[in-house]
Amino acid sequence: MSDPIETVSPDPASAETELQPERVRELAEAGDADVVDVRRGYEFEEGHLPGARHVEVNELTVQAESISKDRPVVFYCRSGNRSGMAAAAFREAGWDAHNLAGGIVAWADAGHPLEPDGGQVAAPRPPTA
């Protein structure tokens, strides 16, 4: 039996965690993975993957036990940097964790839908003090 998570990555070190947008869409639409947006609140509000749960990256440690270990989880952010770190940490801690390669930018560039209707990828803002 083959692994239900197909990975594609040019970097062998990250091959087990990086998923291309089309594969994430397949998993999400089939209900075969949980999708977690780790961006800031304003970013999530402007546009997010359909059905995604929002947990800011700095809240992941507190919220970790609320993320199921019984099914794959795909983390994403704007470009894949924050979510890549989250996926690696969760995988190390025993989750079947993955990262959306290229983040929501790659998702939108591939023509996949965003919520809410008319949603868009939020422009970065400087951190607030």
- Say how far apart CA 49 and CA 12 lie, in whole Å: 26
Q: What tens digit of pLDDT does each residue of 20-48 get?
A: 999 999 999 999 999 999 999 999 999 99
- Which residues does the annotation mark as catalytic? 77
- Say how far apart CA 7 and CA 30 lie, in whole Å: 17
Nearest to 80 by CA among 58, 59, 104: 104
Superfamily (CATH H level) for 15-109: Rhodanese-like domain (3.40.250.10)
Identify whether the C-beta of residue 7 lies closer than 8 Å to the C-beta of residue 47: no
Coil, helix or strand for 58?
helix
Positions of E strands within 39-105 = 53-54, 73-76, 97-100
Q: What tens digit of pLDDT does each residue of 12-21 get?
A: 333 468 999 9
Q: What tens digit of pLDDT does each residue of 74-88 get?
A: 999 999 999 999 999
Q: What is the pLDDT of residue 125?
A: 86
Tokens of 4: 């239900």
pTM of the model: 0.85
